[in-house]
Amino acid sequence: MIDTPVTKEQAAMIKVGIVGGTGYTGVELLRLLAQHPETELSVITSRAEAGSAVADMFPSLRGRVALRFSDPATAPLEECQVVFFATPNGVAMQQARSLLDAGVRVIDLAADFRIKDIALWEKWYGMTHAAPDLVAAAVYGLPELNRQQIKSARLIANPGCYPTAVQLGFLPLIEAGCVDTDFLIADAKSGVSGAGRKAETHILFAEASDNFKAYGVAGHRHLPEIRQGLSGISGSPVGLTFVPHLTPIIRGIHATLYARITREEDFQSLYEKRYAAEPFVDVLPAKSHPETRSVRAANVCRMAIHRPQGGDTLVVLSVIDNLVKGAAGQAVQNMNLMFGFDECLGLSQVPVLP
């Protein structure tokens, strides 16, 4: 057998590993990275599917991903330059340290490193944190807020889907100091893929289809993450009411945000100027109504600003694809920044319609 020579381009590619490749965020990472010109998919793990071909589970990847799932206990993740954790909460904190010690950069798509207050994290996630010192070292991966820190980061806490839509929507107002941060409201709706790829009654077709409901009204795990982010922007604690809803769609988050105006501004201009240089935030013309289908399968947040009846309440509409800008796409965006690539590399997909 003759070995095929490695080209200079292949030698320069970033070797990528994915821990937990059988969920929706895992396959979304595969879809995006398979099209990325500077990455080589090297390892993808699954304890249950070890040995089976990735393309057998996900036929959409036939001809693009030739890997087989590896057992996480023996997978050579240390040989990668960056490893993504597309795993349930509590997994990355157990494994990140050994990878970091081996010089591997880590991007966690779960919540293990997002909340800086360890006691608060343990309260909301119901477990003892295994690596509290790494939480302090982690950079929160919202590029529109932390771009410079992300560039030099070794460990990224990729934001949650609801927190991405909500924080991007409120960000210009809080930075400008023109709304009452004691009374912020986020009324957000998500498609069923946000619950993950698992068999649970409430996300079965017969249960979720032709239905609409709120959940987590008393408290949702993304609430402390959003509060932490908005408080950091404000410089002081914020008051936030956050109510999530489940909608009978597969992909998409629609966040309707309410803020009480304390100082007059040209709010449309405020948003347009704040996001003018942001490649993945699209501020629509005044009086627009962004739709979840306008961002389906794309790493884009679209938003619009309204002031109903000219009153003292501003309404911001913010939509994202929960699996892309809300998860895998933002993770790839962070990877691009960490390795000095063009931030948009591999993320130029046009939204899918219908």
Q: Two tokens at 145?
A: 């807020």
Q: Containing H/E element for 315?
A: strand 313-320
Task: Please give the Cα distance from 147 to 145 (Å, whole number).
Answer: 6
**Tokens 């590993």 sit at which residue?**
17
The three state secondary structure string of 101-157 is HCCCEEEECCCCCCCCCHHHHHHHHCCCCCCHHHHHHCEECCHHHHHHHHHCCCEEE
Give 246-294 as a DSSP string: E-S-SS-EEEEEEEEESS---HHHHHHHHTTT-TTEEEPPTT----GGG
Give φ, ψ of 336 to 5 degrees: -55, -45
Residues acting as catalytic residues: 161
**Furthest-apart CA atoms within the chain: distance in Å:** 75
The answer to whether 243 and 187 have CB atoms below 8 angstroms apart is yes
Question: Which residue, among 117, 230, 211, 213, has the nearest Cα to 171 in the 3D structure?
Answer: 230
Task: Please give the Cα distance from 333 to 348 (Å, whole number).
Answer: 11
Distance of CA 321 to the CA centre of its chain: 9
> Is the bond preceding 172 in cis, omega lying within 30 degrees of 0?
no
Task: Please give the Cα distance from 51 to 288 (Å, whole number).
Answer: 49
Helices 329-338 and 24-33, interaxial angle, to 10°?
50
Strand partners of residue 190: 246, 253
Burial of 108 (0-12, 13-18, 19+ CB in 10 A): buried
